[in-house]
Chain A
Amino acid sequence: MTGNHDSETSHGTMARARTLVDADVHAVVPSTQSLFPYLSAHWRDHVTNTLMKGVVETAYPRFAPTTSRTGLDAPNGPPAGSSLEALQRDVLDCDEVEYAILCCTYQVDSLHNPDAAVAFSSAANDWLAAEWLDQDPRLRAGIVVPVHYPELAAREIDRVGGHPGFVQANLPARTTFPLGSRINSPIWDAIARNDLVAAIHFGGAPGTPPTPSGWSSYYLEDYAGMAHVVQSQLVSLITEGTLEAHPGVKVAVLEAGFTWIGPFLWRFDKEWRNLRRLVPWVRRPPSAYLRDHFRFTIQPLDAPDRNDHLLQAIDQIGSEHVLMYSSDYPHRHASDPDRLLNIVPAQLADRIRADNAKALYGLP
């Protein structure tokens, strides 16, 4: 039994000599006002003089034990994850990270007003570029997009996709229509033409329920249940032929766990053998698309207590190129990622630490 280290107490066990790419750290918009330099007078006035106070953030309740490591979030201070200095201190310098990929989960999809959704997406991206990407060469980031308006999302991807710091488009796990739906084709076209990765991240605020049986009661349900929402998104992307239409596109799946991948593929491959004729553009078993196109971050670690079981679950993925190291900073977790890195074979550990992410994002 090696589980249940507390992540804030156990830095330093990782071999320092090796490069590390952190494929999931968070950049949190500290307040709506912090985006004022990037918003038009119209929307600044809205925030100042109307009831509209910006986006509604629900994915990470501010003071939930999972949202921030102990000591990072004071009640009257800025939220954890909103400070570049803290990220540099706690992750980039501390762990000697070569690159870190910023995920800003600013819930612009909570804004049904399309003009507001675009304005706040653009503001968040300009803020990311100016206050994070341009300040530290180790950083890369995902583009915040109004996913619920695919044409507008595509336009925003085209607007900032040329910035070398933006390496992916952020798509929330929870959506109004599954991401592979043809309704979302403009988003995938834009991702492909900008040579970006698609990142599916924890959360989303589509206004529709997070489960196939309606609204759940507790945050714990949404937190543990995001994995099944992501499973549904994978089913959609593979079944709809999104990756046949865009064979060069890869998908980074953030914070969804990974020990479910093997058993999920056993079922999905079987169903494809049964029902292939309904979707003849799906030319290969779903597992083949997963291994070729999808990458998963390892934190939060949905691991069993026994290391041999964890190793078997990793083996069941069927490829050494799927997992990517992440700290998921500033979020707090039940297990330390070192637990995984310390038990896998050295070559796989190197791939998870850096090689897989470098290949995915084309990092030198």
Chain B
Amino acid sequence: MARHVVARSGEIPEGGRTIVNIGGLPIGIFNIDGEYFAILNRCPHQGAPLCEGHLWPGLLVSSEPGDYTNRAEVPIISCIWHGWEFDLRTGQSVCDPQRLRVRNYDVKVEAAGTDGFNLHATTYAVEELGGVIVVDLDRRPSTGEAAKLSHLLGARSNGGNEATDREMVP
């Protein structure tokens, strides 16, 4: 059963979060300005409880040294341990959006033995339906936002940061 009711509407106030356990999967449900997001409570780096991390008011970008511009349209959670930032909508790492733009969640691209660097957190589709909040474990949110994140960061070429991903086992 992929769809799970995790809370009643209103149980998670705006700006709030709750961490639930769905069949052994710990998942954080966030309410950002009335929009819900679901993300696995595990940082892909060292397994920290990511959902206990800090919610930033947006993505911090810069046009030049000394400029600090906040893009409030991108909800960012940073890991409780090392501070790695993730786009709450997609699980994309702020540190490597280029590579993740081409990543397809539906296909396992990694062969055994090519384990390497994993820089994305796992997110799930979540919606409010008939007075309850429902998480769908089989669906990922659209990755169309990925390009937008890299655009906002203003990254140019990827400069040879050709990491391979270690398959994450939640």
The reply to whether B65 and A240 contact each other, CB–CB distance below 8 Å, is yes
Also in contact, A281 and B157, with CB within 8 A (given A273-B84, A273-B95, A276-B94): no
The reply to whether B64 and A288 contact each other, CB–CB distance below 8 Å, is no
Q: Which residue of A lies closest to B162 (CB)?
A: A318
Q: What chain B residues lie within 8 Å of A281 (beta carbons)?
A: 62-67
Answer yes or no: B158 CB below 8 A from chain A CBs: yes
Also in contact, A274 and B65, with CB within 8 A (given A285-B95, A288-B161, A292-B157): no
Report A145 CB to chain B, min CB distance, Å: 22
The reply to whether A284 and B65 contact each other, CB–CB distance below 8 Å, is no
Which residues from chain B sit less than 8 Å from chain A, CB to CB? 56, 60-69, 78, 82-85, 93-96, 119, 153-161
A289 to B96, CA, bound (A): 14
Also in contact, A182 and B65, with CB within 8 A (given A277-B60, A283-B154): yes
Q: Which residue of B lies closest to A285 (CB)?
A: B161
Report A254 CB to chain B, min CB distance, Å: 23
Which residues from chain A sit less than 8 Å from chain B, CB to CB? 182, 240-242, 244-245, 247, 272-277, 280-281, 283-285, 287-289, 291-292, 318-319
Report B163 CB to chain A, min CB distance, Å: 9
Please list the 4 inter-chain residue pairs (A to B) with the smallest Cβ-Cβ separation, ordered nearest first. Answer: A288-B159, A241-B65, A280-B62, A281-B62
| Residue in B69, B119, B159 whose Cβ sees the most chain A Cβ within 10 Å | B159
Q: What chain A residues lie within 8 Å of B85 (beta carbons)?
A: 276-277
Report A316 CB to chain B, min CB distance, Å: 12
Report B118 CB to chain A, min CB distance, Å: 12
Report A108 CB to chain B, min CB distance, Å: 28
Q: Which residue of B lies closest to A321 (CB)?
A: B160
The reply to whether A288 and B65 contact each other, CB–CB distance below 8 Å, is no
Can you show 24 pairs from A to B with CB atoms below 8 A apart? Answer: A182-B66, A240-B65, A247-B156, A273-B93, A273-B119, A274-B82, A274-B83, A277-B56, A277-B83, A280-B60, A280-B61, A280-B62, A280-B67, A280-B68, A280-B69, A281-B62, A281-B65, A281-B67, A283-B155, A284-B158, A285-B159, A288-B158, A288-B160, A291-B160
Also in contact, A287 and B161, with CB within 8 A (given A273-B82, A274-B83): yes
Q: What chain A residues lie within 8 Å of B78 (beta carbons)?
A: 277
Report B52 CB to chain A, min CB distance, Å: 17
A285 to B156, CA, bound (A): 11
Q: Which residue of A lies closest to B61 (CB)?
A: A280
